[in-house]
Structure 1
Amino acid sequence: MGSIDATELGSEKKPNPGKATILAIGKAFPQQLVMQEYLVDGYFKTTNCDDPELKQKLTRLCKTTTVKTRYVVMSEEILRKYPELAIEGGSTVKQRLDICNDAVTEMAVEASRACIKNWGRSISDITHLVYVSSSEARLPGGDLYLAKGLGLSPETHRVQLYFVGCSGGVAGLRVAKDIAENNPGSRVLLATSETTIIGFKPPSADRPYDLVGVALFGDGAGAMIIGSEPDLVLEKPLYELHTAIQNFLPGKALQDTLHSTVNLYNLTLLFHGADTEKTIDGKLTEQGINFTLSRELPQIIEDNVESFCKKLIGKAGLANKDYNQMFWAVHPGGPAILNRLEKRLNLSPEKLSPSRRALMDYGNASSNSIVYVLEYMLEENRKARNMKEGDNEWGLILAFGPGVTFEGIVARNLDV
């Protein structure tokens, strides 16, 4: 498909032929709801830690994250069964994976069922499954357990994306888009599921970053149905996925090579930075997953996001679109990332409202978060339409993950 100017599409907002659309959204959460104001005392009591300095630091972090509530799999029952999870230095990866593997499947099944119910068609019409998680590790993978739990046909084509981190939800959308557009008549179920138990640890002065995770991350699952050429009698298209790209920031060695190529061919290098593959760093160890984020991450995103957005919008043929005339569905990695993106692109405060709401209500739920943001986006679009304030037909879906990897999709709001 070629590029399309928004003015050529008329007022009915019908999907463009051959383009993938999101046809339904669903979500699910574990039973434990954590109120941020009570988290600090509960966490230090659970882990039998009485370090006043660490407690004070976590208290500050809990306020700066802007998170109000989150859902978590971790419970008193789990800690009674596995007390070693709250003890420093033990080999607990087997116990963690036993818990996580079951939990993410249960949540993914629930979110997928909710999505299929919202879709309104038979589960037998699902032809492909894309499954995303950074919270489990097993063979066969969670895609098979999800397919089995839902009762999908054994002929369902499956793809799984493991350990993609916060960019996983948009990466999954990109993969689902490719599948839908290259397999006429297909219906793709995209499911994401995450739990923080894989990285739960007691507080330690040797691992100050762990407190950021305690203050910020949450658990849950999300699901979407993606397909092209929707049956407008049976299906309600929500968003058209018009153009998708992925870029990573080159590390120093690769960047030196790219600079040589730029000089040789008079090209333009898109990204700036060095050794960015360590900016978001995770390793699976005997104590679960050890995960760190560099302090430079918000700055790296700020430095590169505008050039990435220009490239994405230009590829879709919308180079002259005003940013504030578009909607912005951005993965809420944290308030600093949202603040810097807003400032760099000179966005009106309301543009990132769905992202900030998702962060406040669910924390950073990794790959799931973009599902929650898109759902809030629909809610705000409908509210604006009812108030005759108009809406923004075109917009961007963005996420940032390990690499540092930028995922982006130019989308159209079809919810009329």
Structure 2
Amino acid sequence: MHESRSMQHGDGHAAVLAIATANPSGTILSQDEFADQFFRISKSDHLIGLKEKLIRICNKTGIEKRHFHMTEEILRAHPEFVDRALPSLDARSDIVATEVPKLAEFASVKAIAEWGRPATDITHLIFSTYSASGAPSADLQLASLLGLRPSVCRTILSLHGCYGGGRALHLAKELAENNRGARVLVACSEMTLVCFGGPDGSNLVGHALFGDGAGAVIVGAGPLTAGERPLFEMLSATQTTIPETEYALGMQVSAAGLDFHLAIQVPMLLGQNVEQALLNAFRSAQGDDVEVTWNDLFWAVHPGGRPILDKIEEVLKLEPGKLAASRHVLREYGNMSGATIVFVLDELRRRCREEKGDHDHQQLPELGVMMAFGPGITIETMVLRIPSGPNKN
């Protein structure tokens, strides 16, 4: 019996086998132009003080541009999206019910193509989103769009927010390691249309930060088949919830869409707890005798905002450039909630490939960390390793 149960498990640690990202083609907005366009399309130019405040916030974000499914044509057809006093949840839900899985499909098709095996070899699907609700949900729609087998095991993660991608990858690791031959597709897809509204003074930071995007990752454990190449081995994963911080981050569904709240204390709270979360993850990987130097690692950190990255860099005394992949994604795309960590992993993978082709450039360290943060406050932490040997990509 013991031998039989052992054969049901994968060999060794799970690994990331493919990564892909996608953004909607609707609108690309420069951060320098965002405030002017936002106040114009919401017919709020008379709110001069709020507009000046949003301009100041935008200038401090470290963001250069963001992608959105929402267009001016959609807003002209749905004036209720601008006026938070009007009920609009039904109309928003109708749009994202189709568009959120479709955006996930774009990323997933690319990830499956990179993986090199047919979509019907996917055994598990994990879909994370704050942008869609209803049942059957986006996971079933994506499975149908991709032509996955009816026997695929589906899981939907709803309203996890910015730690949704980290939680989905954590779950994928556990599924892959405990189900021999499992190949898990993780899909994260987010659209701000579900929470868009006119300026009211309480939502300016969210309007300045968030954008739309989707990420897809395929996770599996050994034995690997011919052509499969591990990009990052997933050594350990932990979740830490900071006690009594429920007030600091949250989302609430209302008749007018999804309302966000983000307390100004979030960077400070993360800074006070990030090192303990890291130690928990490394104890899980290495045992109680943990000896690790933070600057000896590579870093994939969810770029929730520039103050969060600055605080983590300060607390851990990270060298300049350690969070470069996170800052690059924030600059080019903004915060895409749970999907963002997939963009950071993809950027790290790109930098790793470039460095291998440049013999004069120092390569990424072998060990690294992935971190994502969200409501709770919840911290997802994963210890990663860049594999060596003939399968190294």
Name the TM-score class by shorter chain. Answer: over 0.9
1:19 corresponds to which of 13, 35, 47: 13
1:333 corresponds to which of 295, 300, 304: 304
Distance 1:391 1:99 in 2: 41
- Which residues in structure 2 correspond to 1:203-222 (within 5 Å)? 203-204=199-200, 208-222=201-215
Q: Is 2:236–2:285's contact at 8 Å kept on the other side of the alignment?
A: yes
1:300 corresponds to which of 256, 269, 272: 269
Distance 2:65 2:386 in 1: 28
2:15 equivalent to 1:30: no
Structure 1 SS opposite 2:322: helix
Match of 2:279 in 1: 310
Query: Over the residues paired in the alignment, what is the CA RMSD in angstroms?
Result: 1.3
Distance 1:108 1:311 in 2: 32
Distance 2:136 2:84 in 1: 31
The aligned amino acid for 2:24 is P
Match of 2:248 in 1: 279
Distance 2:354 2:283 in 1: 30
Q: Is 2:104–2:187's contact at 8 Å kept on the other side of the alignment?
A: yes
Q: Is 2:20–2:216's contact at 8 Å kept on the other side of the alignment?
A: yes
- State TM-score, norm by structure 2: 0.93
1:45 corresponds to which of 37, 40, 45: 40
2:358 equivalent to 1:387: yes
Distance 2:303 2:315 in 1: 16
Deviations 1:357-404 (A, max 9, x none): 000011000011010000111122222333331320101100111111
Distance 2:33 2:207 in 1: 12
Structure 1 SS opposite 2:155: strand
1:246 corresponds to which of 230, 239, 252: 239
Q: Is 1:23–1:237's contact at 8 Å kept on the other side of the alignment?
A: yes
- Which residues in structure 2 correspond to 1:104-119 (within 5 Å)? 104-119=100-115
Match of 2:291 in 1: 320
Match of 1:86 in 2: 82
1:409 corresponds to which of 364, 382, 385: 382
TM-superposed CA distance for 1:141, in Å, is 1.2
2:347 equivalent to 1:376: yes
- Which residues in structure 2 correspond to 1:93-172 (within 5 Å)? 93-172=89-168
Distance 2:239 2:268 in 1: 19
1:365 corresponds to which of 320, 336, 343: 336
TM-superposed CA distance for 1:230, in Å, is 5.0
Distance 1:137 1:231 in 2: 36
Aligned residues: 374
Match of 2:230 in 1: 237
Match of 1:181 in 2: 177
Structure 2 stretches lacking a partner, 5+ long: 1-9
- State TM-score, norm by structure 1: 0.88
2:340 equivalent to 1:396: no
Identity %: 40
Q: Is 2:87–2:256's contact at 8 Å kept on the other side of the alignment?
A: yes
Structure 2 SS opposite 1:350: coil
Distance 1:339 1:74 in 2: 30
Structure 1 stretches lacking a partner, 5+ long: 1-15, 252-275
Q: Is 1:243–1:409's contact at 8 Å kept on the other side of the alignment?
A: yes
The aligned amino acid for 2:175 is I
Structure 1 SS opposite 2:12: coil
Distance 2:310 2:213 in 1: 25
The aligned amino acid for 1:171 is R
- Which residues in structure 2 correspond to 1:191-206 (within 5 Å)? 191-204=187-200
Q: Is 1:385–1:391's contact at 8 Å kept on the other side of the alignment?
A: no
